[in-house]
């Protein structure tokens, strides 16, 4: 049943002000934002086509006629004083941006989201008088720390996922396929108020569970098999991420039971390690130490976690080579796993938000194995 939830609004208004001081250090006087997720973060605009020019004392958003009203309404609602320029073609939008950027000596481009073809076009035609400067993570660095409104949306997305799993779990004992369980989860999340799934839902049973990112198939789930269920919901653009491993009845062998016990302890140690000032790789170390001691170091095939927000994978990264240091407001996953071809896979994952003195778990579905 869908709940009516009142949530604090994300604090969009001040984000441009926090971005501008970083421009000089990046060697640019202005920034052209081409990543649509970053455009949304800075302005509140959610359309599928936009370019955003951030100047020292102004901001220009260009889009096409489909979003004439939406762009004006969303930027105003976010409290962003943007000049919205609607033009029918990309070439016409480029003309607007070129005019607004005239006199800019150094224009930053988002290196991760500008194609080679775009860069050549910008350099030769659109911003021919400016020196184009590649930038890395200027907006993404701001996105690391979530405000109260962002956390509330992620908590709501997690609650919806919790309820969706509770609604679908009874299907497992009815001879359903992996695909049917995945579709059931996707439907329930929508019914409960999510705008969609954070990523393609994973339901992997038996030998398929040994593939960390297996796609759901028409394979029927059998009693005694481990089933890895990895999924998340989106609320107002913000994602949740959760994995549970379950079994219809008791697992078929003792190794499967031991895998579950080891991963559960590994995940518990990892969550306990999440706190401000902790290096993200230390969380990975805690998880990996438990699995290594069990003799399955080579069966832990991926990093321990990742940041979550407007995208399902964003900074900070929780892995053995990560240089990130956790801080209040960071939202990350803790998801160790063991994958053995002859026994299947086990992964247990929670999304947690770093607090002033530790962390708060947002995903609260039960972790019991047997259903």
- Provide the CATH number for the domain around residue 195: 3.90.230.10
Q: Are residues 247 and 120 in the same domain?
A: no
- Which of 101, 121, 143 is where one domain is finished? 143
Mutual angle of helices 178-191 and 148-168, in 10-degree steps:
130
Q: Which residue among 89, 120, 143 closes a domain?
A: 143
Domain co-membership, 127 together with 261:
no
Residue listed under structure tokens 């321990």: 304
Distances 224 to 252, 260, 328, 369 between C-alpha atoms, Å: 5, 13, 41, 11
Residues 70 and 125 in one domain: yes
At 55, which CATH number? 3.40.350.10
Looking at the 3D structure of the chain, how many domains does it have?
2
Structure token digits, residue 300? 């832990």
| 213 and 67 fall within a common domain | no
Flag whether 326 is in a domain: yes
The tens digit of pLDDT for each residue in 241-262 reads: 999 999 999 998 999 999 999 9
Q: Which residues of the chain fall below pLDDT 70?
A: 1-5
Fill in the DSSP letter of residue 10.
Answer: P
Dump pLDDT digits (tens) for 112-127. 999 999 999 999 999 9
Residue 2 falls inside a structural domain: no
Give pLDDT, residue 5: 62
Q: Do 62 and 180 share a structural domain?
A: no
366 falls within a domain: no
Residue ending a domain, among 143, 178, 198, is: 143
pTM of the model: 0.94
Whether 57 is in a domain gets the answer: yes
* Rounded Cα–Cα distance for residues 186 and 166 (Å): 13
Closest CA to 340 of 278, 291, 286: 291
SS3 at position 137: coil
Establish if 284 belongs to a structural domain: yes
Q: Is residue 6 part of a domain?
A: no
**203 and 232 both lie in a single domain:** yes
Mark whether 134 and 105 lie in a shared domain: yes
pLDDT at residue 38, rounded to an integer:
98
Q: Are residues 177 and 326 in the same domain?
A: yes
CB 117 within 8 A of CB 143: no
C-alpha–C-alpha distance, residues 308 and 352, integer Å: 9
Residues 188 and 308 in one domain: yes
Residue 177 is part of which domain span? 148-361
Q: Are residues 65 and 108 in the same domain?
A: yes
Asked if residue 5 belongs to a domain, the reply is no
Considering the domain architecture, whether residues 162 and 87 belong to the same structural domain is answered as: no
Q: Do 346 and 271 sit in the same domain of this protein? A: yes
Q: Is residue 73 part of a domain?
A: yes
């Amino acid at each position: 049943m869908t709940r009516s939830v009142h949530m604090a609004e994300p604090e969009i208004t001040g984000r441009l002000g926090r971005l501008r001081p970083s421009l000089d250090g990046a060697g640019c006087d202005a920034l052209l934002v081409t990543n649509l997720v970053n455009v949304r973060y800075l302005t509140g605009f959610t359309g599928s086509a936009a370019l955003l020019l951030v100047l020292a004392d102004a901001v220009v958003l260009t889009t096409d006629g489909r979003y004439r009203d939406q762009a004006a309404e969303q930027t105003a609602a976010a409290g962003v004083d943007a000049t919205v320029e609607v033009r029918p073609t990309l070439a016409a939008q480029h003309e607007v941006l070129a005019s607004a950027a005239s006199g800019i000596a150094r224009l930053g481009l988002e290196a991760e989201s500008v194609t080679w073809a775009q860069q050549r076009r910008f350099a030769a035609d659109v911003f021919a008088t400016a020196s184009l400067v590649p930038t890395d993570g200027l907006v993404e660095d701001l996105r690391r720390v979530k405000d109260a409104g962002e956390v509330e949306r992620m908590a709501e997305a997690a609650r919806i996922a919790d309820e969706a799993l509770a609604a679908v779990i009874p299907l497992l004992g009815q001879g359903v396929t992996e695909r049917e369980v995945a579709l059931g989860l996707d439907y329930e999340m929508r019914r409960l108020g999510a705008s969609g799934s954070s990523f393609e839902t994973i339901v992997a049973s038996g030998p398929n569970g040994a593939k960390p990112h297996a796609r759901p198939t028409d394979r029927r789930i059998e009693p005694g098999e481990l089933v890895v269920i990895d999924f998340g919901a989106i609320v107002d653009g913000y994602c949740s991420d959760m994995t549970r491993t379950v079994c219809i009845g008791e697992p078929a062998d003792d190794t499967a039971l031991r895998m579950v016990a080891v991963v559960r302890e590994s995940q518990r140690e990892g969550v306990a390690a999440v706190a401000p000032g902790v290096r993200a790789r230390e969380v990975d170390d805690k998880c990996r130490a438990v699995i290594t001691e069990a003799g399955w170091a080579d069966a832990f095939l991926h990093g321990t976690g990742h940041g979550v927000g407007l995208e399902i994978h964003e900074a900070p990264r929780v892995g053995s080579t990560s240089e990130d240091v956790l801080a209040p407001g960071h939202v990350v996953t803790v998801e160790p796993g063991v994958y053995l071809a002859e026994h299947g896979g086990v992964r247990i994952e929670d999304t947690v938000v770093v607090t002033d003195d530790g962390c708060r778990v947002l995903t609260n579905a039960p972790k019991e194995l047997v259903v």
